[in-house]
Amino acid sequence: MQIPREAVLLRIFIGERDRHHGRPLYEAIVLKAREAGLAGATVLRGVLGYGRSSRIHTAKILRLSDDLPMVVEIVDSDARIRAFLPELDGMIDSGLVTLERAEVLRYGTDES
């Protein structure tokens, strides 16, 4: 699979506790992205953050949160990412979804 040099980064900010059909939402999004044939997805777990509610979520030992911030990042062509957006509409109740241009410098190797 090839990604064009001029691509799009889809970034989805959600909470660790968010669910979709009983499964962690971040996992459901990655599986749906894979099913859609998108180039790749990565989930990042935050150690500190807040969102719309302004409630602090932290991994500090004295104030352990069971709802840490999660970020799902997906990079692919603009057309493929935009075609995937309606899938997210049915999955995400609360969160932040952003798009930004990305220049792909390297994706895998010629041997893979």
What are the pLDDT digits (tens) for 30-59?
Answer: 999 999 999 999 999 988 887 777 777 666
Residue 71 within a domain: yes
Number of domains in the chain: 1
> Could you tell me if residue 80 is inside a domain?
yes
Domain that holds residue 96: 6-103
Provide the pLDDT for residue 67: 77
Q: What is the CATH number of the domain that holds 18?
A: 3.30.70.120
Tell me the whole-structure pTM to 2 decimals: 0.85
Task: Tell me how far apart the alpha carbons of residues 47 and 4 are, in angstroms, rounded to a whole number.
Answer: 33
Compute the average pLDDT of residues 72-98. 95
Share of the chain above pLDDT 70, in %: 87
CA distances from 85 to 57, 78, 79, 105, 112 (A): 27, 11, 10, 24, 28
